[in-house]
Amino acid sequence: MGRFESLDILRAELSKNTSFNTGRWATTEEVDAILSLAEISKTEIFIECGTANGWTALNFASIAPVFTFDVQVRETCYQTENITRIIGKFDANVMKIKDKVMGKKKLFFIDGDHKGGAPTKDFEACIPLLETKDTIVFHDSYSYPSVKRAIARVEGMYPWWSKLEVKTYNGMVFFGVKNNPLKVCCEI
């Protein structure tokens, strides 16, 4: 069974369980775009900022292990053995997984707190973990000015990106790391 067939089966099952239909903010098309990118780029680890009910993490786990961060324990949250949930603020906790993710191709999905400077803090918390050919995806770039500001900051301050904007309902911006950011940062 291929990924798209299994995703269709998963979606059919999800639609039967109304407790998981509420609180699913990434659309099916957005998750498919991320999964396609992950397959093409041979992603080995997903790091998700903002678990909500775990629907995106569950989809990501069909390809690779997922570390997902959320500020609260949620009663109804998808969980598989391929998903590690970490409770607490992303920027304060993401370094806890450093030994488990370094040297592996990572895809970061930033979809946590959208208030004020939170998206920028979440992005900057990723920098010590970023390596050449990793990917960062910002979600909700159309809906939240704070996400737009974070994206503008990334574009303006960090020279090691290849950018792709994907027009979806919520808007997503993908950044691929062209050069190891820690080496570039140190050279400046």
* 82-122 confidence digits (pLDDT tens): 999 999 999 999 999 999 999 999 999 999 888 888 899 99
| CB burial string 39-65: b at 16+ within 10 A, e below | eebebbbbbbbbbbbbbbbbbbbebbb
pLDDT exceeds 80 at position 147:
yes
pLDDT-based confidence at residue 64 (cuts at 50, 70, 90): very high
Mean pLDDT (whole number) for 145-174: 81
Domain 3-187 CATH assignment equals 3.40.50.150: yes
Give the highest mean pLDDT range of 2-6, 89-93, 151-155.
89-93
CA distance 88 to 167: 30
Determine the pLDDT at residue 168.
72
Which burial class, exposed, middle or buried, applies to 75 when counting CB atoms under 10 A from its CB (0-12, 13-18, 19+)? exposed
Model confidence, pTM: 0.82
In this structure, the number of other CB atoms found within 10 A of the CB of residue 153 comes to 15
12-34 confidence digits (pLDDT tens): 555 555 444 444 568 888 888 89
pLDDT exceeds 60 at position 170:
yes
CB-CB contact of 70 with 93 (8 Å): no
